[in-house]
């Protein structure tokens, strides 16, 4: 995970949801989850980045713990917290595969919006889910974000066509991961899956899938075009996206997917 830490030490996570093409992921996730959270829920966000979701949920009355493996991200959350009044938000540096600092069944919801797709070995992904479920109460919500492998090649064609080669495509589609520093890698360490593959993976655990959707559709691939939309047209586009983001025939083309599960 050192390569992931180094990547996010230099990437400005604060900019992630400022563009409409990226903000639609945030809007879709919060819209999909809003009916599952009771008032003043205890929420653990794993891979919190600089806290976009953590601040959102804390600002509407939830008790949030933000955990991230990158120290500079946590420093930014702590610094930004001073701008808010009367919110319950703790920020901790930590690895999402080891939550031993938290008691079992101590959270109402666990948001795993980043770690899953930055863990390239299956054993660590197993630990991620086991630990998430251990700290989650029975009946609680586990939300897992993932990256669709079939969204990658269209994105490469549009944005970085120099990576349209057999090696990169094989790594993403067949192996399901990229290692930082590999000649085929256009990103940091990252895992790629399909809607069916991730459902099969989580069905090994004592949870029930209650929702499954694509959170940004093609917005990441056609980011320039989406960002150029007027406010009126972006609203129309967003409503189209909300209405179709669970359509199984196009679910796998969304760059990011979201699986919402309930602990049995």
Q: What is the pTM of this model?
A: 0.94
Structure tokens, 91 = 């920020």
pLDDT per residue as tens digits for the range 80-96: 999 998 999 999 999 99
pLDDT of 136 higher than 60:
yes
Predicted confidence (pLDDT) per residue in 198-241, tens digit:
999 999 999 999 999 999 999 999 999 999 999 999 999 999 99
Give the other-Cβ count within 10 Å of 133's Cβ: 22
User: pLDDT tens digits for 54-77?
Assistant: 999 999 999 999 999 999 999 999
Helix (H, G, I), strand (E, B), or coil: what is residue 64?
Answer: strand
What is the rounded distance in angstroms from the CA atom of residue 212 to the CA atom of residue 247?
10
pLDDT of 151 = 97
Q: Where are the domains of the chain?
A: 2-263
**Which of 253, 120, 150, 261 lies closest to 204, judged by CA?**
261
What's the token pair of residue 76?
């930014």
Which of 3.40.50.150, 3.40.50.11270, 3.40.50.300, 1.10.10.10 would CATH assign to domain 2-263? 3.40.50.150
Largest CA-CA distance found in the chain, in angstroms, rounded: 53
The mean per-residue pLDDT over the stretch 245-253 comes to: 97
| Residue 185 banded pLDDT, cuts 50, 70, 90 | very high
- Structure tokens given for 48: 């919190």
Closest CA to 150 of 221, 255, 71: 255
């Amino acid at each position: 995970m050192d390569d992931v830490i180094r990547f996010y030490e230099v990437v400005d996570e604060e900019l992630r949801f400022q563009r409409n093409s990226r903000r639609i992921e945030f809007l879709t996730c919060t819209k999909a989850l809003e009916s599952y959270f009771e008032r003043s829920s205890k929420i653990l966000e794993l891979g919190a980045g600089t806290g976009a979701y953590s601040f959102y949920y804390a600002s509407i009355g939830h008790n949030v713990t933000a955990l991230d493996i990158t120290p500079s991200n946590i420093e930014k959350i702590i610094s930004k917290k001073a701008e808010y009044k009367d919110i319950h938000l703790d920020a901790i540096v930590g690895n999402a595969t080891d939550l031993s600092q938290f008691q079992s069944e101590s959270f109402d919801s666990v948001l795993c919006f980043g770690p899953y797709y930055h863990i390239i070995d299956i054993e660590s992904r197993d630990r991620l889910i086991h630990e998430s479920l251990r700290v989650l109460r029975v009946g609680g919500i586990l939300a897992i974000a993932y990256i669709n492998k079939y969204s990658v090649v269209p994105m490469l064609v549009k944005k970085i066509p120099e990576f349209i080669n057999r090696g990169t495509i094989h790594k993403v589609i067949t192996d399901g991961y990229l290692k930082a520093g590999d000649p085929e890698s256009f990103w940091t360490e990252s895992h790629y899956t399909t809607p069916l593959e991730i459902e099969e993976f989580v069905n090994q655990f004592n949870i029930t899938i209650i929702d499954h959707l694509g959170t940004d559709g093609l917005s990441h691939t056609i980011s320039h075009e989406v960002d150029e939309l007027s406010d009126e047209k972006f609203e129309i586009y967003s409503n189209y996206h909300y209405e179709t983001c669970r359509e199984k025939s196009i679910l796998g083309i969304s760059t990011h997917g979201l699986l919402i599960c309930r602990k049995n």
